[in-house]
A and B are shown apart, each in its own frame.
Chain A
Amino acid sequence: MGNTAITGKSWPDRIFDFIVYFVVLFVVVITIYPFLNVLAISLNDSVDSVRGGITIYPREFTWENYMKIFTFSGLITGFKISAFRTLIGTLLGLISASMLAFTISRPDFAGRKFVSTFLAMTMYISGGIIPIYMLIKDLHMMNSFAVYVLPGLVSAFNIFVIRSFIDGLPYALQESAKLDGANDFTIYWRIILPLMKPALATIALFLAVGQWNAWFDTYLYNGSSPNLTTLQYELMKVLQTTTSGNGGDYRSNIASMANNQVSPESLKMAITIVVTVPILLVYPFIQKYFVKGMTLGAVKS
């Protein structure tokens, strides 16, 4: 009893604490275990892996699985295309979102209401898969790199996140710049953009993750152009070979790899790691920004 008085903790509170820690620890374990398991299998000798029982460290360490998958040309092309679309898509997306956010944040802009309503509507209306597909076809964007970057260029959600960030900046900054003779573009470029770094970092992360992880546009529009397929699409085809029998052409690829003493399972895990690691390398750097940026955007929009 005396102990309780000193620490200020009653028994129900201690039990509560214990349950909280236990549950959170459980969540942490089930979140991270699968990744470690995949990594371990990718680094384990593939014949040995078939025996099973690998947990979070490789039993017979080898780089062989990675050597194998990188001899496979589809993956190299996929990596290049994915990296390129991530770079271009993020850059163009940032430019469009920050410019539009800047213009609709300006209280004196005559088109403000029209532009923001016009953009907000795009969040709720969508033509659906078929009309969009037909449009892309009519614009002759099938089997082109442009289809990765152009259709998603203007994203209302990102614009509103940045806009609420600009609203938090003092408007007097822009007014005094104007008195000094700066035009609106100069204000955007010289004053607003440098102050927006945290918001831009957040949106850059969203855009980059979206671009890197996209696979469906490849499937829909560029599936028949081997020089335009992305990494995620390549992985999708590999994974679907056993789960549903789609992507039959890959079956022979996997089979021929399997002939070289490598089990398909290990190759899949190695490809999974190659697809996952680049995006995981980025996020710790931007993490400090995005939690702030996302909450801000979410609360206001």
Chain B
Amino acid sequence: MKAETATAQIPPDTRMRNKKPASGGRFWRSFKNQKYLWMMSIPFVIWAFVFSYLPLWGWTMAFQKYKPARGFFEQEWVGFEHFKILFTDSQFLLALRNTLAMSGMGLIAGFIFPITFAILLNELRLGFFKRFAQTVSYLPHFVSWVVAAGIVTKMLSSENGLVNDVMLAIGFIDTPIQFMAQGHLFWGIVTLSDVWKETGWNAIIYLAAISGIGPELYEAARVDGASRLRQVWHITLPGIRPTITVLLIMSVGNLLNIGFEKQFLLGNNLVTDYSQVLDLYSLKYGLGMARYSYGTAINIFNSVISVILLFTINGIFKRTTKESLL
């Protein structure tokens, strides 16, 4: 109320210059003044509403015994029944375990490797080799997971697969290992495939952060006689800490949204106990068996956990460091 009276007393000219959105009755005039801006944004906002917000309405399915033929008010409501079934289903718990295991491993590997690689690239003295190595390193980022999974399967194959061939040649093993057929290797294969595909690409951000560190810091360290390793430890790493923190928070928020592409494409019937993740589980039981309500309950569980994780990790970082995302 108070704010409104205050704005009303300011002459129109000043208000324009204040660049504050006009309120209440003057909305229409401002709308006409900015009609192009509105026309350029509203269609897309409606778009985003349809494809991002409207599916949330579908969440009601999880609390119903959803039958596609019936209208919304004809559905039978069942409360949390589907969630109860969910938490007692051993397949769901397996999928949850696999999701957490692979996203946890991915999170750790996805930090260590790009940061290390960026630091190594930064330490290269030959400009030509640095550019070459960088260009090559993000090549796999541009190929699809379909192609990447095909390549990984080929390299790990027991017939003429590179990994087996090399290990046989150096006498590390006597018989080829059937990598893709062993469940307990699946998490590692997924994680390392991801490392192979994305390390170079993810290193770009860290490399940019490193290049923002003032050269005088390295100069001073050199004068003090610090070795290259000590310079990395005491200057480079602390220098990119804000970048590391922000990216860490973002990845933790997406911990459960690891996707399913890798698991879908690299998995096979022999390793389902280790390759089944929440999204695939929801796909298989929800769409595959037309249990839409049950599948939606899994999706909701996924989203809720993600949001909780995001807020938790953001809170922790807010308290311990100054960095925060929200």
Contact = CB atoms under 8 A, between A and B. Distances in A.
Interface of A: 10, 12-13, 16-17, 20-21, 23-25, 27-28, 30-35, 37-38, 52-54, 96, 99-100, 102-104, 106-113, 115, 118-119, 121-122, 124-135, 150-154, 156, 183-185, 188, 209, 212-216, 220, 232, 235-236, 239-240, 243-245, 268-269, 272, 275-276, 279-280, 283-284, 287, 291, 294-295, 298-299
Given A130-B287, A154-B48, A299-B208, 13 more contacts: A17-B123, A17-B228, A24-B120, A102-B40, A104-B41, A110-B30, A124-B306, A124-B307, A126-B257, A153-B47, A269-B154, A299-B205, A299-B209
Interface of B: 19, 21-22, 27, 30-31, 34, 36-42, 44-45, 47-59, 61, 117, 120-121, 123-125, 129, 132-133, 135-137, 139-140, 142-147, 149-151, 153-155, 159-160, 162, 180, 196, 199-200, 204-205, 208-209, 227-229, 243, 253, 257, 261, 264-269, 279, 282-283, 286-287, 292, 295-296, 298-300, 302-303, 306-307, 310
B58 A239 contact: no
Given A111-B38, A129-B295, A150 B51 contact: yes
By secondary structure, the B interface counts as helix
Contacts of A118: 45, 48-49
A100 to B, nearest CB: 5
Contacts of B154: 34, 37-38, 269
B223 to A, nearest CB: 11
Contact of B36 (A119, A125, A183, A298): A183
Given A16-B227, A128-B303, A52 B159 contact: yes
B58 A96 contact: no
Contacts of A99: 40-41, 44
A283 B153 CA distance: 25
A131 B55 contact: yes
B135 A287 contact: yes
A131 B58 CA distance: 5
12 contacts: A12-B228, A34-B162, A100-B44, A111-B21, A125-B307, A126-B52, A127-B303, A131-B58, A134-B55, A188-B36, A272-B150, A295-B208
A13 B269 contact: no
Contacts of B199: 27
A149 to B, nearest CB: 11
A232 B51 contact: no
